[in-house]
Homo-oligomer: A and B are copies of this chain.
Amino acid sequence: MKRSLNHIFIVIGLLFLTFTGNAQSKMVYTDAHDLNLIGKAEDSKMYYHRLDTSAHQDIPAIVRTLATRSAGLALSFTTNSATVSAKWCTSKLATADNMTGIAFEGMDLYIKRNGRWQFAGVARHVSHECSESVIAENMEAGKKECLLFLPTYDETLSLSIGIDQGAVIERGDQPFKKKVLIYGSSIVQGASASRPGLAYPARLSRETGYNFINLGFSGNAKMEASVANMLAAMPMDAIILDCVPNPSPEEVLARTNYLVSTIRRSHPRVPIICIGSVAREKGNFDTVVAAKVALKDKYFEQEIRKLQKQDKDLYLIGGDGLLGKDQEGTTDGIHPNDLGFDRMLQKIRPEILNILKRYQI
């Protein structure tokens, strides 16, 4: 009986595959290599890696691994298709409990309309490896400028975009100008925005037109000397340092000067914008966490204030109050949710814009 049931399930499964195979075969797929993948700090041999990890053997192994995750990468293309779908494969990683699957290993699409990037749909994974998903359908005729944000926490292994038969898809432009690096923790990488395009560097890019580059490394951004050297060697028009959450207070005290000074030596006039830690809601009742975060912020501010005496292009935005005053702006006491990120952006976005304008960037 059990074997017969198994046979029935296999037949049903094959019928289902045939059916969905037919449905999918209506879409015509283009590999992402033929479109324009934006958001990288540098060219990388592996198309979906943020950094060329083989060229950075001296940075910590975990940071190299995290650089293979596609946080902040977005595929720019244009199409007149009424439907946009995606086939993509990621590594086998399962979603973290403080994130949605859509953010961790899914994607979201934005289309430019009336001069503004507007949300159009999400690509939802059906397995932790390879999935196919309709992202948006029944759209009006006409050419659409599209930006598809890749998974923030998983490694993307392959991606192709599906359009209706007879429709056209083309490589899109780089829609963002200049290059503003953001070096930071899981919060920069995208935890806990509810989808990839809501990670704060991605929101900043769409909302300001500047090319903010996601150099967020979950559980890391500990200002290691090797990482400081790597950052300093990168081309940039400005850099944001949002790296207080993960190092210990002692590491903040010991490493801040080297990080800032090293970047400054390679980039004598770029604005360096530092942000205090927002990861403090867990310390609302936990007195040990509260004291630790306060000490890290104190050390960070102390080191930045010292450096500012001889560096008029170094800025500090305090972390206190950036997520609001009601403690509802995080998912888990550490990582901002979309409400926390929105409150944070309402405060830091105008400050960052003012600084960039001052430098005519």
Contacts and interface: CB of A to CB of B under 8 A. Distances in A.
Nearest to A340: B338
Interface in A333-354: 333, 337-342
Interface stretch (A24-32, A116-124, A177-185): A116-124
B337 A119 contact: no
Nearest to A82: B287
A154 to B, nearest CB: 12
B98 A327 contact: no
Nearest to A83: B286
A111 interface: yes
Given A99-B100, A333-B119, A136 B286 contact: yes
B286 A139 contact: yes
A1 interface: no
Contact of A97 (B101, B118, B119): B101
A285 B111 contact: yes
Nearest to A342: B339
Given A118-B327, A121-B282, A287 B138 contact: yes
Interface residues of A, number: 49
Interface stretch (A192-200, A209-217, A232-240, A297-305): A192-200
A288 B138 CA distance: 6
Contacts of A333: 119, 121-122
Contacts of A282: 121
Interface in A133-151: 136-140
A106 B97 contact: yes
Contacts of A320: none
Given A99-B100, A337-B194, A139 B331 contact: no
Nearest to A324: B342
Given A118-B284, A138-B288, A337-B198, A100 B98 contact: yes
Contact of A101 (B95, B327, B338, B339): B95
A78 to B, nearest CB: 14
Given A284-B120, A287-B140, A198 B328 contact: yes
A289 interface: yes
A328 B338 contact: yes
A203 B340 CA distance: 15
A100 B195 CA distance: 11
Interface in A246-301: 281-282, 284-289
A162 B340 CA distance: 30
A102 interface: yes
Interface in A67-96: 95-96
Contacts of A121: 282, 285-286, 333
Interface of A: 95-102, 106, 111, 118-122, 124-125, 136-140, 192, 194-195, 198, 203, 281-282, 284-289, 326-333, 337-342
11 contacts: A97-B125, A100-B331, A102-B332, A118-B284, A121-B282, A122-B333, A136-B286, A138-B287, A138-B289, A139-B285, A139-B287
Given A119-B281, A339-B339, A339-B342, 17 more contacts: A95-B95, A97-B101, A97-B124, A98-B101, A98-B102, A99-B100, A100-B331, A118-B285, A121-B286, A124-B332, A136-B285, A136-B286, A137-B286, A139-B287, A198-B337, A203-B328, A338-B338
